[in-house]
């Protein structure tokens, strides 16, 4: 099985329905991954269209190029962080775009390569989305303070044993650096009194998720990346998101609320400071989630939420 067909695009038809790509349009796939959504988008853009795929992961970029470069539209595949989407797109001498898709998190191909360190298979504790970043998860765990680590575990993954896991990691690294996924997993299991599973879920799952999100600054990048994308979107253009984690859902909901002109300032503020202004309308009310057939065929899709807005003249 190739990397390309290891990843099944999530909510594919629903995403295409929201984006409603048409010939001649310019569409950014901010997380092109292995080109699953990109393939169907490119099909719809015709000869005069432009497809811009961005990914932080060098391997994904190579794979997306292989999968997409033969389409007749102009295909640009860029290695970079969508938090710099405006510079990346302007660098192609393109000012505005008709659609942007963010399909956040990691791909199945990343999760399924043990050497990337995202999974429980014993391997170096890497977890970098971009191989050109210098810090790995092992490096992060070697220097993060106990307090910050406990906060990361609690805030990013609702880990109820955040304090004891953070304490165990910090005390362990005094005598032995944590270098492998197996070491981290075993250490978390010990914090759960030797239990490897609770309610059918590995007790290290939340720790792995939180460390990955912190290392790759996933939530910070999403916040900035949505703003950068908005700057590029022409009136009538669509911004569509697929998110998997409660922290991502919250950031996207707040972004959408502000664009709909709904203030998100904390209650009691004398004056609105969040910049809410009517600049968008909803493409759908609420969210679309995978149906039972998709969830059964692709269990990783289960937490996905699809949202979309259209830019109006503001």
Ligand X SMILES: C[S@@+](CC[C@H](N)C(=O)[O-])C[C@H]1O[C@@H](n2cnc3c(N)ncnc32)[C@H](O)[C@@H]1O
Out of 52, 54, 188, 204, name the contact with ligand X by CB under 6 A: 54
In angstroms, what is the minimal distance from the CB of 259 to ligand X? 20
Could you tell me the two tokens for 58? 């060098």
Q: Rounded to the nearest whole angstrom, what is the least distance from the CB of residue 137 to ligand X in the complex? A: 15
Question: Site residues for ligand X, window 58-87 (CB under 6 A)?
Answer: 60, 81-83
| Size of interface with ligand X, in residues (CB under 6 A) | 23
Query: Binding residue for ligand X (CB under 6 A) from 105, 117, 229, 290?
Result: 105
The helix (H) or strand (E) run that includes residue 53 is strand 50-55
Distance CA 214, CA 151 (A): 10
Strand arrangement of the beta sheet that strand 50-55 belongs to: 74-79, 50-55, 26-29, 97-103, 233-243, 305-311, 280-282
CA–CA separation, 196 and 176 (whole Å): 22
Q: In whole angstroms, how close is the CB of 29 to ligand X at the nearest point?
A: 7
The verdict on 311 binding ligand X (CB under 6 A) reads no
Neighbours of 79 (CB within 10 A): 16
Token match 């080109």: residue?
Answer: 35
Q: Given candidates 3, 18, 36, 294, which one binds ligand X under the rule CB under 6 A?
A: 36
Residue 301 within binding range of ligand X, rule CB under 6 A? no
Task: Pull the structure tokens for residue 75.
Answer: 């295909």
**Integer CA distances (angstroms), 11 to 64, 215, 244, in order:** 19, 27, 12
Q: Which two tokens stand for residue 280?
A: 């968008």
For residue 177, give the DSSP letter: -
**What SS3 class is residue 2?**
coil
Residue 119 or 221 with smaller CB distance to ligand X: 221
Q: Which stretch binds ligand X (CB under 6 A): 99-107, 139-147, 254-262, 283-291?
A: 99-107
108 vs 162, beta carbon nearer ligand X: 108
> Quick check: 118 binds ligand X (CB under 6 A)?
no
Q: Rounded to whole angstroms, how far apart are CA atoms 40 and 286?
A: 24
Does 290 help bind ligand X (rule: CB under 6 A)?
no
- From candidates 18, 25, 68, 107, binder to ligand X by CB under 6 A: 107
Stretch that binds ligand X, among 42-50, 51-59, 149-157, 301-309 (CB under 6 A): 51-59
Residues forming the site for ligand X (CB under 6 A): 7, 9, 31, 33-37, 54-57, 60, 81-83, 103, 105-107, 129, 221, 225
């Amino acid at each position: 099985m190739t990397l390309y067909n290891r990843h099944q695009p999530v909510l594919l038809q629903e995403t295409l329905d929201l984006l409603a790509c048409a010939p001649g349009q310019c569409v950014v796939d901010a997380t092109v991954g292995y080109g699953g959504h990109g393939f169907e988008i490119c099909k719809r853009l015709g000869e005069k269209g432009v497809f811009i795929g961005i990914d932080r992961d060098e391997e994904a970029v190579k794979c997306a190029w292989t999968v997409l470069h033969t389409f007749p539209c102009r295909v640009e595949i860029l290695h970079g962080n969508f938090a710099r989407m405006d510079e990346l797109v302007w660098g192609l001498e393109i000012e505005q775009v008709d659609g942007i898709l963010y399909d956040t998190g990691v791909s199945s191909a990343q999760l399924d390569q043990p050497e990337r360190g995202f999974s429980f298979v014993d391997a170096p504790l890497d977890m970098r989305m971009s191989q050109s970043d210098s810090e790995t998860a092992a490096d992060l765990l070697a220097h993060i303070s106990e307090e910050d680590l406990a906060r990361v575990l609690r805030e990013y993954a609702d880990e109820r044993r955040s304090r004891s896991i953070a304490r165990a990691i910090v005390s362990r690294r005094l005598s032995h650096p944590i270098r492998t996924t197996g070491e981290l997993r075993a250490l978390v299991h010990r914090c759960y009194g030797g239990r490897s599973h609770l309610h059918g879920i590995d007790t290290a799952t939340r720790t792995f998720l939180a460390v990955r999100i912190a290392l790759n600054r996933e939530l910070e990048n999403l916040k900035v990346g949505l703003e950068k994308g908005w700057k590029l979107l022409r009136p009538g253009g669509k911004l569509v998101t697929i998110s998997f984690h409660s922290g991502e859902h919250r950031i996207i909901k707040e972004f959408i609320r502000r664009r709909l002109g709904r203030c998100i300032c904390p209650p009691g503020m004398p004056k609105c400071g969040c910049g809410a202004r009517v600049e968008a309308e909803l493409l759908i009310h609420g969210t679309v989630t995978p149906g039972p057939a998709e969830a059964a065929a692709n269990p990783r899709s289960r937490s996905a939420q699809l949202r979309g807005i259209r830019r109006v003249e503001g």
